[in-house]
Amino acid sequence: MNKLCYAFFIFFSSIAFAQEEAPDISSDVEEEAIIEFTDGTQLEGYAIIQHKGWGEQHDMIKFRLTSDGKADLWDETMCTGVFIKHEGIQHEYKYVTMARFDLHPRLLKVFSEGSVMLYGDVTIDDRTFSMKPKILEKTARNGNTRSEKGDYGYTEGVTFYLKSERDAYPVKLWSLLSWKKKAKDYFKDCPELIEKIESKEFTSKNIPEMVDFYNNTCGE
C-alpha cells in the first residue's frame, strides 16, 4: 500500500466516524513526525508515543496528518516505527521484539546503528508521555536504569539493550554483574574498546559513544 493510499485511508476513516464524537486519546501536544509502515511507506504528520496496558506493555503511536486533524492509533501490525523531531533533532523509535513469548514488541529509541544496535527503553512515571522541551538538571543511576538529562518534561530513565546478528533478542546491558564485566564480555572482540573501558574513558555515563566507537572501529 503506497503513501497516497494510506493518506486516503486516514482521511476517509475520519469521515466515517465524523458523526460519532471520538474520545480524546491524550491532551498532550504531538511533535512533528514521520511514521513508517511495514511496506516501507512513510507519512509526515504529528505523533506521540503511548504506553498502553498495566500487564504486558503495548506501545502505540498516536498519529495525525495535520496538527488539527483526527488522531489514529497505530501499532506493530502496520508500522515499523516512527521518527519524532524534537527541538530540531530527529529521534528514531523502532519496534523491537524483546523475548520469544512476548505478546507485543517494544517501541525503543535508537541510540546507535551499525553491526551492533543500541536501543534504549525510555521509561517515566506516567503511562503516557510526550517529547516536551525541558532539560532536567539531575543525572543519577537507579537500579537497572540510568536517569539522564531528559528532553521530555519528565524524569527520564533509559535501560539500554544491545543487539547484533548473533543475538536472537536484545541483550540488556545492565545486569546483576558489574557493568564493566558485562560490557567487556559483549565487546571482547574489540581490544581497543576494552582498553578504553579499563581506562574509564567509556563508562556507564557514555554508553552511546562507546557503541559508536565499536561500530566505527571494530564493527563489520
pTM for the model stands at 0.72
C-alpha cell read off for 149: 538529562
| pLDDT, mean over the chain | 76
User: Residue 82 above 70 pLDDT?
Assistant: yes
Residues 73 and 94 in one domain: yes
- pLDDT of residue 191 exceeding 50, the answer is yes
The answer to whether residues 105 and 150 belong to one domain is yes
204 and 116 assigned to the same domain: no
Yes or no: say if 30 and 10 are a contact pair by the CB < 8 Å rule: no
Domain termination residue (choose one: 157, 174, 191): 174
pLDDT digits (tens, 9 = 90+) for 136-154: 323 333 333 444 444 433 3
Range of the domain at 155: 3-174
CA distance 31 to 62: 11
Q: Are residues 103 and 141 in the same domain?
A: yes
Structure letter (DSSP) for residue 65: S
Q: Are residues 164 and 60 in the same domain?
A: yes
Calculated CA dihedral for residues 152, 153, 158, 162, nearest 10 degrees: 0
Q: Assign 16 a pLDDT band (cuts: 50, 70, 90).
A: very low
Are 10 and 53 in the same domain? yes
The answer to whether residues 129 and 101 belong to one domain is: yes
Give 15 or 180, the one with higher predicted confidence. Answer: 180
Are 96 and 192 part of one and the same domain? no
Mean pLDDT value of segment 32-39? 96
Mean pLDDT of 121-127: 56
Q: Do 214 and 135 share a structural domain?
A: no
Pair 36, 58 in one domain: yes
**154 DSSP 8-state letter:** S
Q: Are residues 82 and 165 in the same domain?
A: yes
Is residue 207 domain-shared with residue 160, that is, in the same domain? no
Buried b / exposed e over 36-51, threshold 16 CB at 10 Å, is bbeeebebebbbbbbb
